[in-house]
Amino acid sequence: MIDADKAVPWIERKLEVTLAASQREAVRKAVSSKVMVITGGPGVGKTTLVNAILSILVVKGVKVALAAPTGRAAKRLSESTGMEAKTIHRLLEVDPKGGGFKRGVEEPLDCDLLVIDETSMVDVSLMASVVKALPDRAGLILVGDVDQLPSVGPGRVLADIIESGAVPVSRLTEIFRLALTVPNQDTI
């Protein structure tokens, strides 16, 4: 068990950031929950929060897998975390010959925690495959903005999970990303 009261100040020093109250609470949920959702619009600190959580868990020996529904999102996740991220299809080892995925109940993923970014783009079928491939011991963190791109396939997985009230949700609302200002042309 990870002591969040020690982990939060440690990670703030390590990353040289001051987490907002909502981010601190999300770290507490992440270290004490098997499944959780991190949601919020652009610029609210989801990336900083995910980095903080991952830094804490990796130092504690948790084996993490990162995935996203698209190659572009997986690349951004890799760049922001410094860890390898794959598309969900690649993580589950898509089987083009037989259809479906090689990873599943019979051959689960080798991780203690799976983080999926851009979860709003994941449909019901793909999420069912993820859940089947997740080992019983593993945790799951779903990250995304319910107001962003919806899934192409059926279902509103992220929105439905949030609305269900069945798992802890950290809804970040405080905007941290600074807007760029353009100087007045009269001053140029």
Q: Tens digit of pLDDT for each residue in 8-42?
A: 999 999 999 999 999 999 999 999 999 999 999 98
Tell me the C-alpha distance between 103 and 144, whole Å. Answer: 24
Which residue did the predictor score with more confidence, 126 or 43? 126
Residue 70 pLDDT level (bands cut at 50, 70, 90): very high
Q: What is the pLDDT of residue 188?
A: 46
Q: What is the pLDDT of residue 181?
A: 52
Q: What is the mean pLDDT of the chain?
A: 91
The burial of 65, by beta-carbon neighbours within 10 Å (0-12 exposed, 13-18 middle, 19 or more buried), is given as buried
pLDDT score of 185 more than 70: no
pTM of the model: 0.90
- Which residues share a beta bridge with 94? 101
